Structure 1
Amino acid sequence: MERKSGSVVYKNILVLNLRKIGDTIMATAAAYLLKKAYPDAKVTMLVKPLTRTIVENNPVIDEVLLYNYSHKAKISEIRQTAGLLKSRQFDLAVVIDGKPRSAILAYLAGIPNRIGFENITLRNIYLRLFYTQIYDIDYDFAATQQVKNHEIFINRITKRNDTARMIMPEVPEADKKIIDELLSGFPADKLKIALCIRSGIVYKDWPQDSFIKTVQGLSQEHNNAVFYTVGSNNDYTYAQEFIRKSDMDIKNLCGRTNLPQLGYLLQKTDFLLSVDTGTAHIAAAVNTKEVVIFAGTSHRHWAPYGGNIAVVYPDISCYPCKDKVRRKCIDYPCLQNVSVNQVIAACDKVMADMEGM
């Protein structure tokens, strides 16, 4: 760490982000802002193995460290990871995920500057033990899109006014060729529509029948469109069932790509219709137009970041649901409250704009 003209210049920065895929894509905006403010600094990100490919080969992240985060982690595992971090001699730790575990790891690693973005209450006042500095959340954090929250946080650290950008990893030419071959069967003059129909989380997954009716309606109204499902290996069987029930010519690409390849695929895609999941954030990072269906989670906070996104969400008094309420919910009325007509109308608007280009 150096001081230049009275301001701090960090040289070896650790960003702690022990969250899932969508959160990690959004967290790349924090790395981007730090790299922009401190271009000569080394920026390292600590992530879960699940999100490794999002941050490896990423132009704003110089090194990736892995920590297999678990709520039931052994003390020995925590100390081992803290020892690894200590050996890297970081001069700044930025806890971007808000997790107490991340703050504790930074503290145990002896990193001299440990900064968090927290609303400190009696419930979490113990966090003051682990941070050297805490920026208070003095606005409506939950109603602010998450990348904008990262932007506010990092700009307070750097004392700048930079605009956030999510950054996807660089895709090797060999991987681009794989995706180009996957898409080669679709006519060049057709609109390519990707469908992310499942998140695997019950309060996010719009009913399959509703999704099928929507895609059938879109196909009837837009005969110049072709469709394919995207997702992980875990989504393949669900997508096969979806395709069978729809009685449509939809290609199942679930499990055919890794995350960087999916980013390139979505970059070559004209439009994505998705539930609230990591795929929607990948699409936003590569500037693909999309409509995202929300149910149990807040679109104000969790909508993908960018100018090419439309969202559909329930008009119901309990939306967005709080964690305590969600745990008691049985039938998730928010999922039923989003209508097929709502989603088709949102898609029609986006697709009409595209067809008019």
Structure 2
Amino acid sequence: MVIKKRNSFRLTRFILLKLPYLLRLINKLFKPRKRLLIIKIDAIGDYVLFRNYLEVVRTSQKFKDYEIDLIGNIAWKDIALWYDKPFISRFRFIKPDELYESPRKVLGLALSLFNSRYEIVLQPAYTRTFIGDGLAALTGATNIIGFESDTEGIAPRYKIKTDKYYSELLKLPKVLYFEFDRSRFFFEQVLKQSIDLTGPHFPSKDAGKQGVTVFLGAGNPKRGWRTENFSQLMELIMAETARPVNLVGGPEMEETAQQIEALLPPESVINMVGKTSLPKVIDHIMRTSLVICNETSAVHMAAACGTKAVCILGGGHFERFAPYPEHVYNRTIFVYEKMPCYNCNWLCIYDTAPGQPFPCIDKVTLADAWRATRKQLGILPMPA
């Protein structure tokens, strides 16, 4: 996140650091309602890994009689409204990064949250952010639970202050590194019950799986495999199989999709990039036989749909979001070239030209990706 409007940020910072103490003082004059707020404002893939716990909370002995509200990232609004509406009383969707430079919006949201009289606020993300901590505190609630957190998403000078907003900060056992397992630990501690979820899942449909889907995009372009690699991999697939090949991705990938189409025989692929909503993307992944993607939301959607996948993986968050542990999901092949600098939180130590992938991504060869793809498609191994 880059701050461009310094004065606006200073006003927002003042609201986030000072107003919570006044609101908490005023809140003592009122009786809280049986109302729970969950704050989950990170990216689409994070939500796919998290969302099944909403039903657990909704049906739990502790919160079954509560109104349960959710502050979420507008990026995954369509998924939440399509799949998770039965478990949430009220959704509030925000653009988290924009709020840092929007003090009026933050103030308006603060007053709305405060007037909701939440009894408990939960912040289940391990990597907390300044805006997330601030929104939790602006409720005026005295019972706010979160993780101790690292400082990847919040500067230490702010974290030392926002730590004080929490009534309880959970310490994560070192053995729990995968994100889905971290969420299970959080809710088991809060709910005081064991949770038997084994992995993310969407409601299954009785649909035959067919075709290959190449999902373009990676959040940060430098975390994506080269366009020409994808086009060459698709050529190999079409040479070995008659299965239809689909291109899927967000509107920001339309130009890349056109570049790939230009490198392939005319009308050889079905270009769906920028033409489908997230629920329809999930429905499509549910019906496809193989997803090929970067480390992005698509790999988590594939796991939640029970669909095989090949994922081109870098090392920024290695083993936190991918590869999946065997006990969570074992139908994805992750293709990567491990480097000593793995787990850098995507703060790459190498200088790379604009538009060039990080070295850990660029080291993944076409041959390695093709080998994994052949295995997933059930094609006989390549000759030695």
Calculate the TM-score normalised by the size of structure 2.
Answer: 0.76
Residue of structure 1 in register with 2:167 after alignment: 132
Residue of structure 1 in register with 2:30 after alignment: none
Residue of structure 2 in register with 1:86 after alignment: 114
In structure 2, what is the Cα distance between the partners aligned to 1:234 and 1:313? 25
2:144 is equivalent to residue 114 of structure 1: yes
Residue of structure 2 in register with 1:63 after alignment: 90
2:333 to 310, 326, 330: 310
> In 2 relative to 1, CA 120–233 (structure 1 residues): closer, same or farther, beyond 3 Å?
closer
- Secondary structure (helix, strand or coil) at the match of 1:263 reads helix
- Secondary structure (helix, strand or coil) at the match of 2:211 reads strand
Deviations 1:303-354 (A, max 9, x none): 266333221112222234344435855452212210112111212222219x
1:241 to 254, 259, 262: 259
2:57 is equivalent to residue 23 of structure 1: no
In structure 2, what is the Cα distance between the partners aligned to 1:193 and 1:117? 39
Cα displacement (A) at 1:192: 0.9
2:100 is equivalent to residue 48 of structure 1: no
Question: Is the 1:299–1:311 contact (alpha carbons within 8 Å) kept by the matching residues of 2?
Answer: no
Question: Is the 2:144–2:166 contact (alpha carbons within 8 Å) kept by the matching residues of 1?
Answer: yes
2:229 is equivalent to residue 215 of structure 1: no
Aligned length: 327
Matches within 5 A, 1:142-157: 144-157=177-190
> In 2 relative to 1, CA 77–168 (structure 1 residues): closer, same or farther, beyond 3 Å?
farther
Give the aligned CA root-mean-square deviation in angstroms.
Answer: 3.0
1:72 to 86, 96, 100: 100
Cα displacement (A) at 1:167: 5.5
Matches within 5 A, 1:155-170: 155-164=188-197, 165-166=199-200, 168=202
Cα displacement (A) at 1:257: 1.1
2:372 is equivalent to residue 349 of structure 1: no
- Secondary structure (helix, strand or coil) at the match of 2:200 reads coil
2:294 to 261, 270, 275: 275
- Amino acid of the residue matched to residue 246 of structure 2? Y
Cα displacement (A) at 1:31: 1.8
- Amino acid of the residue matched to residue 100 of structure 2? K
**Could you tell which deviates more after superposition, 151-160 or 330-339?**
330-339
Structure 2, unaligned runs of 5 or more: 1-32, 380-384
Question: Is the 1:67–1:81 contact (alpha carbons within 8 Å) kept by the matching residues of 2?
Answer: no
Deviations 1:56-87 (A, max 9, x none): 13143332112232263333322211221222
In structure 2, what is the Cα distance between the partners aligned to 1:195 and 1:319? 26
In structure 1, what is the Cα distance between the partners aligned to 2:204 and 2:239? 37
Calculate the TM-score normalised by the size of structure 1.
Answer: 0.81
Cα displacement (A) at 1:168: 4.8
- Secondary structure (helix, strand or coil) at the match of 2:320 reads helix
- Secondary structure (helix, strand or coil) at the match of 2:319 reads helix
Q: Percent identity?
A: 19
Deviations 1:254-302 (A, max 9, x none): 1221011111111111110111112222222222211111125334112
Question: Is the 1:206–1:295 contact (alpha carbons within 8 Å) kept by the matching residues of 2?
Answer: no
Residue of structure 1 in register with 2:220 after alignment: 201
